[in-house]
Amino acid sequence: MRHFRHLDPATISEKSKNDLVSIADQEAEAVIREILDFRFPQYGFLGEEGGASGDTERLWIVDPLDGTLNFVQGFPHWCVSVALWDGEGAVVGCVLDPLRGDEFVAVRGLGATWNGRPLRVSAHPGLDSAFLAVGFAYQLGDRFPRFLRAFERVFHQAKGLRRAGSAALDLAHTAAGIFDGYFELGLKKWDIAAGALLVTEAGGRISDWEGGEGWFDSGSVVAASPAVHPELLAALQDQKP
């Protein structure tokens, strides 16, 4: 928080074209890792900035600042995402929005909460007039035409589409019923590790764009309430639901 809107430009760099990292990302990950290594030394660690180390079967997956470009530009939409994964998937997940004081937490098999209150996906009946979150990154490359075709099909059915720039928060807000669904291509594991568990523990569904279970490795994600998910998936695939 002390860096937000007070970043020294000298502390911002590019990992690749338009993919930024700041001192806030680096310091946040260092603090998170220090705490987790001390309290849970048996688990491995995968962080966006520092990479992977330790146990690869049971590991923390951390995005210390999801929405770095927003943060750098002073746009107030970013978060911290921390999740523990094992061989069966996500065990626990937390997405923290420090600006709004929102803490979203999920535990496998035990549900999800928003600031301590139970979390549920929306009850919207289908894709028609749904309120959706969408994401796209500069690094989409040759996947961009596929995204544009899918976006156009969804655009004509949804009542609103929002691209706010933080996948972890988009998933948390989908779990909370703010959005009826969310879709994006090209995500990384740290973008979705916590948010995906929030969605499923809040009663939602998550898949890749083919409707399968490969979303965590492929980074192609469709997350929504049970009523919206099949229709959103069909629209992305240009098929009838």
Distant-in-sequence, close-in-space partners of 203: CB < 8 Å, separation ≥ 6: 120, 121, 225, 226
CATH architecture, domain 131-237: 3-Layer(aba) Sandwich (3.40)
List the structure tokens of 5: 């809107």
CB of 173 closer than 8 Å to CB of 220: no
To 5 degrees, how large is the angle CA 143–CA 147–CA 150? 145
Residue 85 and residue 75: Cα distance in Å, rounded? Answer: 30
Distant-in-sequence, close-in-space partners of 33: CB < 8 Å, separation ≥ 6: 45, 47, 50, 62
CB of 71 closer than 8 Å to CB of 78: yes
Written as tens digits, the pLDDT of the chain (241 aa) is 999 999 999 999 888 777 789 999 999 999 999 999 999 999 999 999 988 888 889 999 999 999 999 999 999 999 999 999 999 999 999 999 999 999 999 999 999 999 999 999 999 999 999 999 999 977 778 888 899 999 999 999 999 999 999 999 999 999 999 999 999 999 999 999 999 999 999 999 999 999 999 999 999 999 999 999 999 999 999 765 5
Extents of the domains making up the chain: 9-118, 131-237
In this predicted structure, what is the pLDDT of residue 20?
83
In this predicted structure, what is the pLDDT of residue 241?
53
User: What top-level class would CATH report for the domain 9-118?
Assistant: alpha beta
Q: Does the reported pTM lie above 0.85?
A: yes
